């Protein structure tokens, strides 16, 4: 768990001779470890201090499963603290639990897909799984969440992104209020249950990406607050800034990125998830509040930016091929530049330049209010010459809460399951899986989950059967995105070419490709109008038959849909849209079609 060779591991480390404890408390005058192994007697196991302010002790009687705390004598009085590195706690305000990290992974040797084949499904453990049928809501746990993985496997996604599972205050939360960043939420089942969940994901071919929160801690139930008694300016003490830099939108709990021990604490945590839990990637929450003191438009916080570089460098060196994703949302391509070039070193980042215009165009109530130029711009974005440098989506936990609702709900608040909601939300989905970028869904999106996200409302799994046609639409899109039949290779490719932008008719068409040619070139045509486009002329890169691989209006996707599937068009000579050939296509209202040629 330690990211340096020059320091012994922090926290409680189980070994052959007992458990070694180590804690950083530079302002304490004495520290002892107490627990169920010594009847909580303060005098039983005093710890020794080194010249770096760390206190250590080997306790031969202490074993995995024992509860423990640290007792600190300080000038501010005696303090009882949970271990900052505790891998498990009885609750956010309870005791630490000694954990032996050994686990039977049953030969797990899962390898993350190449990033151009990632299809991410974001989920919240507490509402994704089946919840207990009680009068009072209780969150789902890892075991119940694992029972739904078959749905994701059949859907075709290749990765799950899990909202934070670090121990938080109480039992119900989104997870973005971490109280103990090394401990797995006890209400979800704790460390072993999480490892079993990950092992099952890997067995089914699903990568696991975990959300982590380093822009603030807490703000409640954090024993890190004035951990060893010391503080300045009525602030948080050794783990936090003790001046104006402490302020965040979530309280005065920004970690002190300029302090070596705090940097080590955070880098250790990032590596911990990949090491002990076999996590395949991390998504860092709101990095803009790490690299700047007050968010968008604020001056830089150099030590915050260098911490992001340190995290990414450490992961790339120890776990090459794993992915780190930034939620920054400031359209800053330096986040995904290499550290050696001065970038932050992330593999990808959530792209606000896609989600906002695409949501706006499908939720706008009038055709006249839709801008095809903005759609085209959202499709064509490319940072650092890499299509995978952005994650694209129309729904995420942030985009379907905090005053906003699910896309179908935004389209028609009075009928979130009706024709307009179905047609325009799936039109947005067609763009997610055909535009350059790593596509991402939010839980329930594939069966028209309505209203807005709440951590006390479980997914309506009955809708997955009621709208099984929409589920199939998403499944077909994912299969095309991953080129499962060898006819749409360009959707995994690096390149996009906008061919056609017609604001008058509300039509956008584009080409996706890697090297071009049959089986690689893909043409995507979208109609954002309530009127069908018949015999609509578009440019094509090659002559001959182009098969319609997907028609979002196919009658099999919904009772009110009317289109056919399996049709084709013939491209003939005649330059159009900057292409040497042309063909006439039909696109139903609020629909997308995907065309390609059979490989030769």
pLDDT digits (tens, 9 = 90+) for 114-171: 999 999 999 999 999 988 777 789 999 999 999 999 999 999 999 999 999 999 999 9
Q: What is the structure's pLDDT at 5?
A: 52
Q: Do 192 and 332 belong together in one domain?
A: yes
Q: Do 340 and 405 belong together in one domain?
A: yes
| Separation in Å, CA 113 to CA 157, 208, 281, 396, 593 | 11, 11, 11, 22, 27
Write down the residue that tokens 């402490």 correspond to: 246
Q: What is the structure's pLDDT at 3?
A: 44
- Please report whether residue 493 resides in a domain: yes
Q: What CATH number does residue 511 fall under? A: 2.60.40.1180
Q: Do 435 and 575 belong together in one domain?
A: no
- Residue that finishes a domain, picked among 481, 500, 515: 481
What H or E segment, with its residue span, contains residue 157? none
Residue-range definition of the domain harbouring residue 170: 118-220+283-295+324-481
Tokens of 183: 């401990």
Q: Do 571 and 527 belong together in one domain?
A: yes
- Please report whether residue 36 resides in a domain: no
What H or E segment, with its residue span, contains residue 275? helix 260-276
- Please report whether residue 258 resides in a domain: no
- Residue that finishes a domain, picked among 420, 446, 481: 481
- Please report whether residue 573 resides in a domain: yes
Residue 520 has, within 13 A of its CA and on its CB side, a CA count of: 12
**pTM for the whole structure:** 0.97
Q: What is the structure's pLDDT at 2?
A: 43
Q: Do 456 and 329 belong together in one domain?
A: yes
- Please report whether residue 89 resides in a domain: no
Q: Which residues of the chain have pLDDT under 70?
A: 1-6
Cα(183)–Cα(205) distance, integer angstroms: 26
What phi, psi does 465 have (nearest 5°)?
Answer: -90, -40
Q: 108 forms bridges with which residues in the sheet?
A: none
- State the total domains in the chain: 2
Cα(218)–Cα(253) distance, integer angstroms: 7
Q: Do 511 and 369 belong together in one domain?
A: no
R_g over Cα of the chain: 26
- Please report whether residue 256 resides in a domain: no
Q: Do 573 and 541 belong together in one domain?
A: yes
What phi, psi does 200 have (nearest 5°)?
Answer: -70, -40
Q: Do 124 and 194 belong together in one domain?
A: yes
Q: Do 348 and 494 belong together in one domain?
A: no
- Please report whether residue 148 resides in a domain: yes
- Please report whether residue 420 resides in a domain: yes
Q: Do 351 and 381 contact (CB within 8 A), yes or no?
A: yes
Q: Do 523 and 571 belong together in one domain?
A: yes
Question: 10 Å Cβ neighbour count for 562?
Answer: 12
Q: What CATH number does residue 186 fall under? A: 3.20.20.80
Q: Do 507 and 451 belong together in one domain?
A: no
Q: What is the structure's pLDDT at 92?
A: 97
- Residue that finishes a domain, picked among 464, 481, 498: 481
Q: Do 428 and 569 belong together in one domain?
A: no
């Amino acid at each position: 768990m330690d990211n340096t060779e020059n320091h012994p591991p922090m926290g409680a480390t189980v070994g052959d001779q007992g458990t070694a404890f180590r804690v950083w408390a530079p302002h304490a005058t004495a520290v002892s470890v107490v627990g169920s192994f010594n009847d909580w007697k303060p005098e039983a196991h005093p710890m020794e201090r080194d010249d770096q302010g760390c206190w250590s002790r080997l306790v031969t009687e202490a074993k995995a499963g024992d509860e423990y705390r640290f007792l600190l004598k300080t000038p501010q009085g005696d303090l009882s603290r949970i271990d900052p590195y505790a891998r498990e706690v009885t609750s956010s305000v309870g005791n630490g639990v000694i954990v032996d990290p050994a686990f039977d992974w049953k030969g797990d040797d899962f390898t993350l897909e190449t990033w151009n084949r990632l299809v991410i499904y974001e989920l919240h453990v507490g509402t994704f799984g089946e919840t207990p049928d009680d009068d009072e809501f209780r969150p789902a746990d890892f075991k119940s969440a694992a029972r739904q993985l078959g749905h994701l496997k059949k859907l075709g996604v290749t990765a799950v992104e899990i909202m934070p599972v670090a121990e938080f205050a109480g039992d119900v939360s989104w997870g973005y209020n971490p109280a103990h960043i090394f401990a797995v939420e006890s209400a979800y089942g704790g460390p072993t249950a999480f490892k079993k969940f990950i092992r099952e994901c890997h067995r089914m071919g699903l990568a696991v990406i975990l959300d982590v929160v380093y822009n603030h801690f807490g703000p409640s139930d954090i024993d890190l607050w004035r951990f060893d008694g010391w503080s300045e300016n009525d602030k948080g003490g050794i783990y936090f800034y003790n001046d104006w830099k402490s302020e965040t939108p979530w309280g005065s709990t920004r970690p002190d990125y300029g302090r070596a021990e705090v940097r080590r604490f955070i880098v250790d945590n990032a590596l911990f998830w990949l090491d002990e839990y076999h996590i395949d990637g991390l998504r860092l929450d709101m990095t803009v509040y790490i690299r700047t003191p007050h968010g968008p438009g604020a001056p830089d916080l150099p030590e915050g930016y260098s911490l992001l570089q340190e995290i990414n460098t450490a992961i790339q060196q120890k776990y090459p091929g794993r992915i780190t994703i930034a939620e920054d949302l400031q359209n800053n391509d330096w986040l995904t530049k290499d550290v050696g070039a001065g970038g932050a070193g992330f593999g990808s980042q959530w792209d606000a330049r896609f989600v906002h215009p695409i949501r706006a165009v499908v939720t706008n109530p009038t055709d006249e209010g839709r801008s095809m130029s903005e759609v085209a711009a959202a499709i064509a974005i490319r940072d650092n010459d890499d299509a995978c440098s952005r994650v694209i989506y129309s729904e995420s936990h942030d985009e379907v809460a905090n005053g906003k609702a699910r896309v179908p709900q935004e389209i028609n608040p009075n009928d979130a399951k009706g024709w307009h909601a179905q047609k325009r939300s799936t039109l947005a989905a067609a763009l997610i899986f055909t535009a350059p970028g790593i596509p991402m869904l939010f839980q329930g999106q594939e069966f028209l989950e309505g209203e807005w996200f709440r951590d006390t409302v479980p997914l309506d799994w009955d809708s997955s059967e009621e709208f099984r046609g929409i589920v199939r639409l998403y499944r077909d899109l994912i299969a095309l995105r991953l080129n499962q039949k060898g006819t749409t290779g360009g959707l995994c490719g690096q390149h996009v070419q906008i061919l056609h932008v017609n604001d008058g008719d509300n039509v956008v068409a584009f080409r996706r490709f890697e090297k071009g040619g049959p089986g690689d070139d893909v043409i995507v045509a979208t109609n954002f109008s309530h009127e069908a486009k018949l015999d609509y002329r578009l440019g094509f890169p090659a002559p001959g038959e182009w098969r319609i691989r997907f028609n979002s209006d196919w009658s099999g996707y919904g009772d009110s849909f009317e289109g056919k599937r399996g049709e084709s068009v013939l491209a003939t000579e005649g330059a159009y849209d900057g292409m040497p050939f042309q063909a006439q296509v039909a696109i139903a209202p609020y629909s997308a079609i995907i065309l390609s040629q059979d490989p030769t």
